[in-house]
């Protein structure tokens, strides 16, 4: 990771996006005291997080790696979370387990990949922390379970005193939920904006090469595609009011924006 | 809160290890020989379990478990700082060394009486002789000796626990085979030596590790230093330990 500077605040659902190997998991592991930074500081309310249990008590992370013993029962995972964090939202966890058809008496190693993800998710959502970090949370989950999960997220994070940081490749599925994105590419932060700001200033603009070059600064172009005799350019931070009538603009959804941002092309 | 939860978790794990071993001990060194005595009416049957060696194994395994990757991962998952993990592990190692030293003394004292025909042996008697500072009559010194041995051994187990995850499958197998076969090979080589050479080897080893025959306070000091050094190693190996991604 190279000189990344970002801030998470409570009351948001953040999307941490990036291609495979971009450094998302490493960043989350660094924030959550699983790995250590060689330079710089990670702080919560101004206090360094490194081995600071008051700060660590406000963070909870689940990832693809299962850090619970395989012979631990789901219910015991919840009990353990309560022991270490002070409290646990049992009623929410039990209700969610019922919705997912997950028996909390099962041992982790006896669960399928999808159900193991569900068990870890329920544990994370029941934890009483300000910040919850979910790294690829829907691994192995079917479409129905993913839908239940997204509903649960909306219910849980509607109150505003907690924040969720969601690292996922399923951008289209979470687009409606997240309100701010961070995009990591080759270990660097290349985007830090609200979803609204991104979407209101990201477009696919088509027209002739000359007109495009004349009206659009190259620094705003993310990607270029030949389009018959014309070109289609994908732009960011672009003010639609500046667009001349001779060029045509289309809005970009978050996934298209992410793809073009991380797969740059030029004339 | 984190220290309490970590310590309780470690305590339960070490407690279970102790219970499993004690069930084995009771079965193989008390129940079965007792049955032998009852059915054969042979009062000469005795058990030859070396108690300190047995509790050394228990403490080593207990120490290993507390810092094995499985436990470390769980603590990190639950927001426990490295210092808390280390402090908890060392505290539990001390407490279990204490419990096991008491058990070793208690069992030895209980069974090695005129009412029981089952005899437990103790390597301290083998090494120092029953009339040394660590003889059966000198309960406090003997207890301190066992306590310090068990504490150092538990710390060694914890060091292995921290190291184990860094080894691949083949090095692990080689290490296990070395641990199993090295003592056997060394003991056989030792037995092939003449009595004089054996005595000399014993003296050299004893002097090398600071444990001299006929006792005194020196062996205790040596063990204390070993305990502290292994404790420091537990700290050094873990305070910057990162999670291994699978």
Taking only the tens place, the pLDDT of each residue in A109-133 is: 999 999 999 999 999 999 999 999 9
| DSSP sequence for chain A | --S------TT-EEEEEE-TTSSHHHHHHHHTTSS--SSS--EETTEE-TT-HHHHTTEEEE-SS--S-TT-BHHHHHHHHHHHHS---HHHHHHHHHHHT--TTSBGGGS-HHHHHHHHHHHHHHS--SEEEEESTTTT--HHHHHHHHHHHHHHTTSSS-EEEEE-S-HHHHTTT--EEEEEETTEEEEEEEHHHHHHT-EEEEE-HHHHHHHS-GGGEEEEEEETTEEEEEESS--GGG--TTSEEEE--HHHHHHHHHS----
Residues A195-231 pLDDT 10s: 999 888 989 999 888 888 888 887 788 888 887 778 8
Give A-chain residues touching B80 at CB under 8 angstroms: 53, 56, 84
Q: What angle do CA B46, B52, B53 make, to 5 degrees?
A: 85
> Is A140's pLDDT higher than 80?
yes
Check A84 against B8: CB less than 8 A apart: no
CA distance B55 to chain A (A): 26
> Is A76's pLDDT higher than 60?
yes
Nearest Cα residue in chain A from B80 = A53
Nearest Cα residue in chain A from B82 = A51
Give A-chain residues touching B243 at CB under 8 angstroms: 29, 34-35, 65, 67
ipTM score = 0.88
Check A84 against B70: CB less than 8 A apart: no
Confidence label for A56 from pLDDT (cuts 50, 70 and 90): very high
% of chain B surpassing 90 pLDDT: 17
Residues of B with CB under 8 A from a CB of A: 1-2, 5-6, 8-9, 70, 73-74, 76-84, 240, 242-243, 245-246
Check B73 against A52: CB less than 8 A apart: no
Worst-scoring range by mean pLDDT, A172-186, A229-243, B86-100, B210-224? B210-224
Where is pLDDT greater, at B18 or A146?
A146
Residues B16-75 pLDDT 10s: 888 888 888 777 777 777 777 777 766 555 555 667 777 888 888 888 888 788 889 999
Question: Which of B79, B83, B245 is the closest to A84 by Cβ?
Answer: B79
% of chain A surpassing 70 pLDDT: 98
Residues B143-173 pLDDT 10s: 888 889 889 989 988 998 888 877 888 888 8
Check A85 against B79: CB less than 8 A apart: yes
| DSSP sequence for B157-222 | HHHHHHHHTTS-HHHHHHHHHHHHHHHHHHHHHHHHS-HHHHHHHHHHHHHHTT--TT--SHHHHH
Chain A with chain B: Cβ pairs closer than 8 A: 64
Give B-chain residues touching A71 at CB under 8 angstroms: none
């Amino acid at each position: 990771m190279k000189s990344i500077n970002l801030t998470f605040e409570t009351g948001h659902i953040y999307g941490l996006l990036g291609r495979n190997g971009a450094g998302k998991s490493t960043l989350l592991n660094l924030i959550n005291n699983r790995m250590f930074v060689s330079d710089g500081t990670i702080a919560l309310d101004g206090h360094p997080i490194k081995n600071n249990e008051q700060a660590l008590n406000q963070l909870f992370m689940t990832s693809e790696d299962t850090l619970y013993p395989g012979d631990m029962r789901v219910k015991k995972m919840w009990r353990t979370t309560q022991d270490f964090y002070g409290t646990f939202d049992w009623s929410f966890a039990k209700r969610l387990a019922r919705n997912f058809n997950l028996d909390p008496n099962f041992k982790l190693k006896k669960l399928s990949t999808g159900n193991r993800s569900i068990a870890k998710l329920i544990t994370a959502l029941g934890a009483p922390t300000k910040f919850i970090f979910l790294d690829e949370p829907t691994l192995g989950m079917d479409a129905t379970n993913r839908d239940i999960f997204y509903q649960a997220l909306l219910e849980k994070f509607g109150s505003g005193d907690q924040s969720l940081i969601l690292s996922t490749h399923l951008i289209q599925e979470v687009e409606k939920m997240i309100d701010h994105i961070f995009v990591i590419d080759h270990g660097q932060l290349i985007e830090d904006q609200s979803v609204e700001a991104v979407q209101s200033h990201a477009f696919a603009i088509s027209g002739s090469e000359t007109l495009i070059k004349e009206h659009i600064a190259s620094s705003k172009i993310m990607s270029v595609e030949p389009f018959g005799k014309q070109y289609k350019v994908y732009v960011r931070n672009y003010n639609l009011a500046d667009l001349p009538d001779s060029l045509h603009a289309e809005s970009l959804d978050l996934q298209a924006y992410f793809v073009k941002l991380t797969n740059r092309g030029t004339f | 809160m984190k220290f309490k939860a970590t310590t309780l978790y470690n305590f339960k794990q070490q407690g279970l290890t102790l219970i499993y071993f004690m069930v084995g001990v009771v079965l193989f060194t008390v129940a079965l020989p007792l049955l032998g005595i009852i059915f054969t009416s042979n009062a000469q049957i005795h058990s030859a379990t070396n108690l300190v060696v047995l509790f050394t194994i228990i403490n080593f395994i207990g120490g290993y478990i507390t810092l094995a990757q499985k436990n470390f991962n769980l603590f990190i998952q639950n927001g426990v700082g490295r210092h808390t993990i280390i402090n908890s592990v060392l505290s539990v190692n001390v407490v279990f060394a204490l419990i096991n030293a008491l058990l070793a003394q208690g069992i030895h004292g209980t069974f090695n009486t005129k009412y029981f025909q089952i005899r437990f042996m103790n390597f301290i008697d083998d090494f120092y002789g029953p009339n040394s500072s660590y003889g059966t009559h000198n309960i406090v010194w003997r207890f301190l000796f066992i306590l310090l041995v068990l504490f150092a051994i538990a710390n060694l187990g914890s060091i292995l626990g921290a190291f184990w995850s860094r080894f691949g499958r083949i090095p692990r197998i080689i290490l296990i085979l070395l641990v199993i076969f090295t003592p056997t090979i060394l003991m056989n080589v030792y037995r092939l030596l003449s009595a004089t050479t054996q005595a000399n080897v014993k003296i050299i080893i004893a002097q090398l590790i600071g444990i001299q025959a006929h006792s005194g306070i020196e062996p205790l000091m040596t063990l204390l230093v070993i305990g502290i050094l292994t404790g420091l190693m537990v700290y050094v190996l873990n305070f910057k330990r990162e999670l291994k991604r699978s």
